[in-house]
Structure 1
Amino acid sequence: MAGNRPKKSADPVTQPALADFKVGVDNVIFSVDTAQNRLLALLVMRQEEPFLGQWCLPGTLVRQGESLEDAAYRILAEKIRVKNLYLEQLYTFGEPGRDPRESPDSYGVRYLSVSYFALVRFEDAELIANGVSGIAWYPLEQAPQLAFDHNQILKYGYQRLRNKLEYSPVAFEVLPDVFTLNDLYQLYTTVLGENFSDYSNFRSRLLKLGFLHDTGIKVSRGAGRPASLYRFDANAFTPFKDKPLVFI
């Protein structure tokens, strides 16, 4: 009987094709010019389409057999010479359509950006202009419209930098081996703004934590009283490493 015939199964739901990815690395490289109280970001001008002649973050596509971190260090080495450097992975940006080279059909190549952020000493950083018509430090508040979604990456990197300063010793990665507390305070105020803490509270809190070593050496700068030189004691900081420490 017709009523006993097995029902035909419904057509399987068509699944989207798997994406074919190219992976790039984009570096948000910050530096602090404490002499002029400026937080700077390194930008380069694109030499090819898309966005020919437009400013962007230093970046590269990852090569065969190359790790993400190696690619990040490679692009750093191609753009800047510096001794003291702090680098860490930031975030992966992969929204469809973030790169105009992506094809609108489901079989097109997608472009992912694994971003890193770096903090370098401004005084020691030497920019490399080989083969680049434009490379410059831009004050963060004066950053132009960047290629791709790099303004978003830059904003995300700035927020990460602010957070790192609040709970980690990242500042000591880029300070000289010995420094005054005012040097340290100037770095913090440049990144976080002048109203984050007054100097006396900042000084008192950090000295109580016990990982700044007074070298016993004083330095004179201008007409003020000589200032003590301190050194960051990594061993003394070890007990704080996995605690929710707040510096400020």
Structure 2
Amino acid sequence: MAQPEPGILSVVSVDVVALTYDAEARAVLVATHHRTTEPHLGERALPGVVVRSGERLTDAASRALTKLGIDEPPSAIGQLQTFDEPSRDPRGPSLSVAMWATFWHSADIRTEQAVWTPIDRDHPPAFDHAEIVTATRSILAEKLWRELTFTRGLTGPQFTATDAVTITRSLTGAEVHRANLNRDLARITTLTEAGVAPAAGGRPPKMWRWSPSPTDSP
């Protein structure tokens, strides 16, 4: 990276908080990769790139996600917050626009490059990426069940009441009042009850299903 002139901020990057919900692990996971260049060679970092001239942020984020080696596109993508700590990058001053991306959980996202860890621990050490994950977690918690593109991108087409509790707890870090959460879900007009999920014992959890979106395959 070229050294910027004194007093001039010359670099804007995009760093992506890529998320998936793992029902077996009962956690929302964040993806990192091991850096292959300096600085922070070998350390885990969020996938990120320098934004090219004329490039849209979502396009830059999609380019950054290729560092995870995932062939399928994210289920949804959006913008979070800008981080402007002058010393965040040892190569010189830069801005980082944090983006979020969601992937429905499948074997296809388990690649050699992608390291998936729970959002509430083991944050990436490179640059200010631990700060980015910590700061944006609360933003994502606010989006959950309110911004439906993000929420549906994380839950997938259908989910159980138990999944809803676990996702909420993972993002908020707080215990969840199940009755209140069920009332919140019932008020979402694009969600419908879809019976109950199979259960080995005890009371089976309620299933919720999203109405088909215009981009869904028939």
What interval of TM-score do these two structures reach, taking the shorter chain for normalisation? 0.7 to 0.9
Give 1:242's aligned residue. none
For residues 130 and 205 of structure 2, the distance between their equivalents in structure 1, rounded to whole angstroms, comes to: 40
Give 2:51's aligned residue. 62
Shift of 1:158: 0.9
Query: Which letter does structure 1 place at the counterpart of 2:163?
Result: D
Residue 224 to residue 117, structure 1, CA distance change in 2 (3 Å): same
Give the SS at the match of 1:179.
strand
Give 1:88's aligned residue. 78
Match of 1:184 among 153, 161, 164: 164
Shift of 1:42: 1.0
Give the SS at the match of 1:27.
strand
CA contact (8 A) 1:34 1:190 kept: no
Give 1:137's aligned residue. 116
Unpaired runs of 5+ residues, structure 1, are: 1-15, 103-109, 236-248
Is 1:48 matched up with 2:37?
yes
Q: How many residues align?
A: 207
C-alpha RMSD of the superposition: 2.9
Shift of 1:65: 3.9
Give 1:238's aligned residue. none
Shift of 1:211: 3.8
Give 1:73's aligned residue. 62
Give the SS at the match of 2:41.
coil
For residues 163 and 140 of structure 1, the distance between their equivalents in structure 2, rounded to whole angstroms, comes to: 15
Give 1:98's aligned residue. 88
Is 1:122 matched up with 2:105?
yes
What is the 5 A alignment of 1:151-190? 151-165=130-144, 167-169=146-148, 170-190=150-170
What is the 5 A alignment of 1:213-232? 213-215=192-194, 217-225=195-203, 229-232=207-210
For residues 30 and 129 of structure 2, the distance between their equivalents in structure 1, rounded to whole angstroms, comes to: 12
Give the SS at the match of 1:204.
helix
Give 2:216's aligned residue. none
Q: Which of structures 1 and 2 has the bigger CA Rg?
A: 1
For residues 86 and 94 of structure 2, the distance between their equivalents in structure 1, rounded to whole angstroms, comes to: 8
Shift of 1:48: 1.4
Percent sequence identity over aligned pairs? 29
Shift of 1:124: 5.5
CA contact (8 A) 1:25 1:61 kept: yes
Give 1:150's aligned residue. 129
CA contact (8 A) 1:81 1:127 kept: no
**Greater alpha carbon shift after TM alignment, 147-156 vs 82-91:** 82-91
Partner deviation per Cα, 1:133-191 (whole Å, 9 max, x = no partner) = xx311223432551111111111221111111153333222323233333323322332
Is 1:29 matched up with 2:18?
yes
For residues 95 and 183 of structure 1, the distance between their equivalents in structure 2, rounded to whole angstroms, comes to: 36
Shift of 1:84: 5.4
For residues 209 and 144 of structure 1, the distance between their equivalents in structure 2, rounded to whole angstroms, comes to: 33
For residues 225 and 148 of structure 1, the distance between their equivalents in structure 2, rounded to whole angstroms, comes to: 46
Query: Which letter does structure 2 place at the counterpart of 1:96?
Result: P
